Amino acid sequence: VNGVKVHNLAHLARLVEQCDSDYIRFDLEWKKVIVLHTSSGRAATPDILSINCIPAAASQGLLEEDPQLPADLTLLCQPSMADSEIVGDDEAVAVGERQARL
């Protein structure tokens, strides 16, 4: 998440919750990348939960849980465009921003 290697679910939840940048980047397996507009994603969360009958965005206490991280967290992923693969223009979507082509 934004260049930080995720160690477990509690760590992921904390990274997402504490993100204060305009965008949040998730580097996935197979060179797949998801970039979300942070404030738009947060604003959409209640509707997404409601539409899909999900009672809460996270389990109770998940954000308070100790993520039990390794002592050395200096390992950062260094994502670059070379790490990303976009096969065609139709596959590239900016989530949370209006696009003229949409």
Could you report the per-residue pLDDT of 64-100, keeping only the tens digit for each? 777 676 666 545 445 555 445 554 545 555 555 444 4
Identify whether 99 is part of a domain. no
pTM score of the predicted model? 0.62
Could you report the per-residue pLDDT of 8-27, keeping only the tens digit for each? 888 888 899 889 999 999 99
Q: Does position 47 have pLDDT exceeding 90, yes or no?
A: yes
pLDDT at residue 3 in the model: 87
- The Cα 85–Cα 79 span in angstroms is 12
Identify whether 28 is part of a domain. yes
Measured from the Cβ of residue 72, the count of other Cβ atoms closer than 10 Å reads: 6
Q: What is the number of domains present in the chain?
A: 1
Identify whether 98 is part of a domain. no
pLDDT at residue 55 in the model: 92
* Residue 86's CATH number: 3.20.190.20
| Domain interval for residue 58 | 9-91
Q: Are 34 and 28 in contact (CB under 8 A)?
A: yes
Q: Residue 64, Cα to own-chain centre: how many angstroms?
A: 19
Query: Where would I find the beta strands (DSSP E) of the chain?
Result: 23-27, 33-37
pLDDT at residue 98 in the model: 47
